[in-house]
Amino acid sequence: MNAKGKVAIITGGSGGIGFQVSKKLGKDGYSVFLMDIADDAKGAEKVKELAADGITAEYFSVDLTKEDGVTSTINKIGAKQGKIDLLVNCAGGLGGRSRFEEMTTEFFRFVMALNLDSAFFTSRAAIPFLKKGKNASIINFTSNAAWNGGGPGAGVYGASKGAVQSLTRSLAKDLAEYGIRVNAVSPGTIDTPFHAQIKATKPEVFASWANNIMLGRIGKPEEVASVISFLASDDASFMTAETIQIGGGQALGI
């Protein structure tokens, strides 16, 4: 894929999957702009690692649940580059666990902000610059929880990711007239630092998760990044409003 001269913003770009997405897109030829809540020191380390691979990168420390910071950062990137070709909304998370009966309003609002509001804020701010891009697109991250409602205590996470899935279709309808495509990916269990604690303390439990995956193994961040690369490319130019499962058949259960 030749994406030389193209501009990509990756939220959550310093994290496990997000960083691999940043690296893959950078190798595809994009200039990558990472937006994440990690501090500037960690961001500088990630940029240095990308630069060692010949990738043009810049890092912005942003709380993606805060509208003003998100909007000003994307406006800064878009104005400087003159366009945005790709927005990858990778940022998000579980936020903790709580059953609905005991759930506080603050927790509910936080998880929705982390997963849904963040994608809305970034997309809204990026649209004027995506209109200036070539084969421009937005790629959101949903989850198996959007389909199955989430595990114990993760119901609001499932609800927020279900909303992201619906937002993907709504944005695709809204932006089709401008030639801007909007798709989503739904990763299954992926071997990232998110699972580092249980992998280190209960490796047998971590390994057992593969038993619920049709292909019999845990996924790799690079395998998610490859799908993102495809969705952003001209090879996927007739794809919009789609959600691609990347879980080795995990969504079907066995």
**Residue with the two structure tokens 């190798």:** 27
Torsion on CA atoms 195, 198, 201, 205, rounded to nearest 10: -120
Rounded mean pLDDT, 219-245: 97
Would you say 186 and 142 are in contact if contact means Cβ atoms under 8 Å apart?
A: yes
Distance separating alpha carbons of residues 101 and 52, to the nearest angstrom: 50
Q: What structural domains and CATH numbers belong to the chain?
A: 7-191+220-252 (3.40.50.720)
Share the mean pLDDT of the chain: 94
Rounded mean pLDDT, 80-107: 96
pLDDT at 1 over 60: no
pLDDT for 195 equals 73
Query: For 28-82, what is each residue's pLDDT tens digit?
Result: 999 999 999 988 999 999 999 999 999 999 999 999 999 999 999 999 999 999 9
Annotated catalytic sites, by residue? 157, 161
Would you say 168 and 142 are in contact if contact means Cβ atoms under 8 Å apart?
A: yes
Query: For 126-171, what is each residue's pLDDT tens digit?
Result: 999 999 999 999 999 999 888 888 888 999 999 999 999 999 999 9
pLDDT for 2 equals 61
pLDDT for 254 equals 62
Q: Which two tokens stand for residue 47?
A: 């940029």
pTM (2 d.p.):
0.94
Query: For 68-88, what is each residue's pLDDT tens digit?
Result: 999 999 999 999 999 999 999
Query: For 172-205, what is each residue's pLDDT tens digit?
Result: 999 999 999 999 999 988 888 777 777 888 888 8
Report the percent of the chain where pLDDT is more than 70: 99
pLDDT for 252 equals 83
Q: What angle do CA 42, 22, 203 make, to 5 degrees?
A: 70
pLDDT for 69 equals 98
